[in-house]
Chain A
Amino acid sequence: MPQIIVENLVKHFRVSQRDTGIFGALRGLAHRRYETVKALDGVTFEIGSGELLGYVGPNGAGKSTTVKVMSGILVPDSGRCEILGLVPWKDRSRHVRHLGVVFGQRTQLWWDLPVIESFDLLRDIYRVPRHEYVKNLDEFVAVMDIDSCLDTPVRQLSLGQRMRCDLAGALLHSPKLLFLDEPTIGMDAVSKVAFRQFIKRFNRERETTVILTTHDMNDIEAICDRLMIINSGKLLYDGGLDALRQQMSFERSLVVEMTDAGSPKVHPAAQLAMMNGRRVHIRFDPKRISAAALISDFTAHNDVDDLFVEDPPIEEIIARFYEGNGVG
């Protein structure tokens, strides 16, 4: 039985429109015009226990709305949503007990208090048993390297430190579900890599289900098994990253380090894309010639020091996917 069931979820927002200028403002007083924004327009999916799912889409696609409905913060117009057998907005208090949330760029820690006091407060709010709290805190402090942060007021932490503390705070009550809403936004490269490792680790070791919304495709590539793409309130893709790659990218690249500079002989099914000294980029369509066939052909006709096959970057695949689906 899936842990999360979402069926035909619909949420429309009415946004008031105002004409520009002072007359527009006055007219707005007498007669408001509304525009309907379809944040969710019939979204359906299921998520099993322990999955690590990436949820992407352009700004305003409906990602955050989905997460907020699943958190019990927003009530949908229609459709069904059950998480661990509970309807989030009806059983809010019972539902959120199993839920950990990190919203990037916002903190759940108390700004003026040392981090450890925020943790103690979360312990009391979630009524985490003493031994469980101590065990979790010890583990997080060791793994996330936040020992030095604990006695510092939150406002004095760097973004990377703060997000690690935020993540620890969200996991103190051992939630079964973890929602991460653009957690790596604004982080430096080292912090991002570390952050991804923690998420992956908790997902593996505790079988915590993780839903990660992000704009950073490297987040998805690094940790997610499954990807959902949403736009204009509709789910456009739900499946593995490799399947999407196969669906979207017809071309791969063979990058070769030649022994000597000079024009290489290339199989007719592939094209020479770029030459840079001894380094040669060859583009090919795997449906026309397999990577193995191309490599054996190339090494038979040329002297080669080194070679590797390259996939197009995930960014490019998603961008191509958006284009193909008319996402502006």
Chain B
Amino acid sequence: MALVSYWAVISARFRSLLQYRSAALAGLVTQIVWGIIRVMIFQAFYSSATTEQPMSGRDVETYIWLGQAFLAALPWNIDTDLRSLIRSGGIGYELVRPVDLHTYWMSRALAWRTAPMLMRSIPLLAFAFIVMGMAPPATVAAGAAFMISMCAAIVLSSAITTFLNVTMLWTITGDGITQLTFGLVLIFSGMLVPLPLFPDWSQPLINAMPFRGLVDTPYRLYLGHIPASDLPQHLAHQLFWILAFVVAGRIALSRALRRVVVQGG
């Protein structure tokens, strides 16, 4: 397939999303306030802790600020444009394009997970570095490993988002599965509490699940908590789950299209 088609979709969607500047500003303020609250909670927790924790207090703070900066990259909702297309029957237009529908939708998702995140993360990281004393990457290698892993995290997020979008062809609203996924993502990605702070017995389970590839893996590479030399195996975990969600999404989509009734006709 010619990539030019999909690249065009990504860039058009990206430009269209950059128009929502006030939403980005509102999101930025909210995320800073939430970040400060979360940091204060963990400071209270650490100051009363009597035993050695698996992560230092300063590492947790940096982990939190990274989480706040890249919040918009999480697969926490479905594409509302696609939802209105599915509800109104405008989905017909999507089906008369000479493109592979899953790749097309995933291109949209990629732009959607990247554009708002970029708009918010840059000023938020600047704030966290200057005002809140956030730490830089542990080493240059850690920084590079973080960047690579973060790219994989965005692709993973897009694959999950696309899978959620496909399920709308069954459920029409997509609300139920989105809320369920949001809960799983929040807890098991490390967004709520950094994953190393979870009980030891739960670690194998958490490691097996796809969600740590969204948050925990890149952030701990940043902190040097996972050495940069371990990048390949963690990247493999992310790539495995990207592939899994893409395959599941494609199967679900082709099944859905066989039974789809385009609304309004």
Q: Once the chains bind, are A73 and B96 in contact (CB under 8 Å)?
A: yes
Within the complex, what minimum Cβ distance (angstroms) separates B22 from chain A? 14
Nearest-neighbor residue (CB-CB) of A64 within chain B:
B265
Q: Which residues of A contact B258 (CB under 8 A)?
A: 75
Q: Which residues of B (40-88) have their CB < 8 Å from a CB of A? A: 81, 88
Q: Which residues of B contact A101 (CB under 8 A)?
A: 92-93, 96
Q: Once the chains bind, are B92 and A73 in contact (CB under 8 Å)?
A: yes
Q: Which residues of A contact B261 (CB under 8 A)?
A: 13, 74
Q: Which residues of A (57-82) have their CB < 8 Å from a CB of B? A: 64-65, 68, 71-75
Q: Once the chains bind, are A125 and B5 in contact (CB under 8 Å)?
A: yes
Within the complex, what minimum Cβ distance (angstroms) separates A103 from chain B? 6
Query: Among the listed B19, B81, B92, B100, which residue makes an inter-chain contact with A103, where contact means beta carbons less than 8 Å apart?
Result: B92
Q: Which residues of B contact A93 (CB under 8 A)?
A: 98-100
Q: Once the chains bind, are B92 and A113 in contact (CB under 8 Å)?
A: no
Q: How far is A212 from B12 in the complex, measured between Cα atoms in Å?
A: 31
Query: Among the listed A65, A108, A113, which residue makes an inter-chain contact with B265, where contact means beta carbons less than 8 Å apart?
Result: A65
Q: Once the chains bind, are A112 and B16 in contact (CB under 8 Å)?
A: yes
Nearest-neighbor residue (CB-CB) of A106 within chain B:
B90
Within the complex, what minimum Cβ distance (angstroms) separates B103 from chain A? 11
Within the complex, what minimum Cβ distance (angstroms) separates B166 from chain A? 16
Q: Which residues of B contact A96 (CB under 8 A)?
A: 95-98
Q: How far is A74 from B95 in the complex, measured between Cα atoms in Å?
A: 10
Q: Once the chains bind, are A113 and B96 in contact (CB under 8 Å)?
A: no
The stretch that binds B, out of A116-124, A227-235, A283-291, is: A116-124
Q: Which residues of A contact B19 (CB under 8 A)?
A: 112
Q: Does A127 contact B (CB under 8 A)?
A: yes
Q: Once the chains bind, are B262 and A125 in contact (CB under 8 Å)?
A: no
Q: Does B2 contact A (CB under 8 A)?
A: yes
Q: Does B187 contact A (CB under 8 A)?
A: no
Q: How far is A65 from B16 in the complex, measured between Cα atoms in Å?
A: 33
Q: Which residues of B contact A124 (CB under 8 A)?
A: 4-5, 7-9
Q: Does B15 contact A (CB under 8 A)?
A: yes
Q: Once the chains bind, are B262 and A94 in contact (CB under 8 Å)?
A: no
Which size class do B's interface residues fall under? 20 to 34
Within the complex, what minimum Cβ distance (angstroms) separates A64 from chain B? 3
Q: Does B27 contact A (CB under 8 A)?
A: no
Q: Does B89 contact A (CB under 8 A)?
A: yes
Q: Which residues of A contact B8 (CB under 8 A)?
A: 120-121, 124-125
Q: Which residues of B contact A75 (CB under 8 A)?
A: 258
Q: Does A45 contact B (CB under 8 A)?
A: no
Q: Once the chains bind, are B93 and A92 in contact (CB under 8 Å)?
A: no
Q: How far is A99 from B2 in the complex, measured between Cα atoms in Å?
A: 19
Q: Once the chains bind, are A126 and B16 in contact (CB under 8 Å)?
A: no
Proximity bits, B89-133, A CB within 8 Å = 1, else 0: 110110111111000000000000000000000000000000000
Proximity bits, B1-44, A CB within 8 Å = 1, else 0: 01011011100100110010000000000000000000000000
Q: Does A279 contact B (CB under 8 A)?
A: no
Q: Once the chains bind, are A113 and B16 in contact (CB under 8 Å)?
A: yes
Q: Which residues of A (97-116) have their CB < 8 Å from a CB of B? A: 97, 99, 101, 103, 106-108, 110-113
From known contacts A68-B265, A117-B12, infer whether A126 and B98 are also in contact, taking CB-CB under 8 Å. yes
Q: How far is A179 from B216 in the complex, measured between Cα atoms in Å?
A: 50
Within the complex, what minimum Cβ distance (angstroms) separates B108 from chain A? 11
Nearest-neighbor residue (CB-CB) of A62 within chain B:
B265
Q: How far is A280 from B24 in the complex, measured between Cα atoms in Å?
A: 71
Most A CB within 10 A of own CB, among B15, B96, B265: B96
Q: Once the chains bind, are B88 and A72 in contact (CB under 8 Å)?
A: no
Q: Which residues of A contact B260 (CB under 8 A)?
A: 73-74
Query: Among the listed B2, B12, B98, B265, which residue makes an inter-chain contact with A121, where contact means beta carbons less than 8 Å apart?
Result: B12
Q: Which residues of B contact A118 (CB under 8 A)?
A: 12
Q: How far is A68 from B261 in the complex, measured between Cα atoms in Å?
A: 10
Q: How far is A103 from B98 in the complex, measured between Cα atoms in Å?
A: 17
Q: Which residues of A contact B262 (CB under 8 A)?
A: 68, 73-74
Within the complex, what minimum Cβ distance (angstroms) separates B19 from chain A? 6
Q: Which residues of A contact B95 (CB under 8 A)?
A: 71-73, 92, 96
Q: Once the chains bind, are B88 and A106 in contact (CB under 8 Å)?
A: yes
Q: Which residues of B contact A108 (CB under 8 A)?
A: 93
A-B contacts, 18 of them at CB < 8 A, read: A13-B261, A68-B262, A68-B265, A71-B95, A71-B96, A73-B92, A73-B96, A93-B98, A96-B98, A101-B93, A107-B90, A110-B16, A117-B12, A120-B12, A121-B9, A124-B9, A125-B5, A125-B9
- Since A72-B96, A92-B95 are in contact, a sample of 11 more A-B pairs with Cβ atoms closer than 8 Å, ordered by chain A residue number, is A71-B95, A73-B260, A93-B98, A93-B100, A103-B89, A103-B90, A106-B93, A113-B15, A117-B15, A124-B9, A127-B5
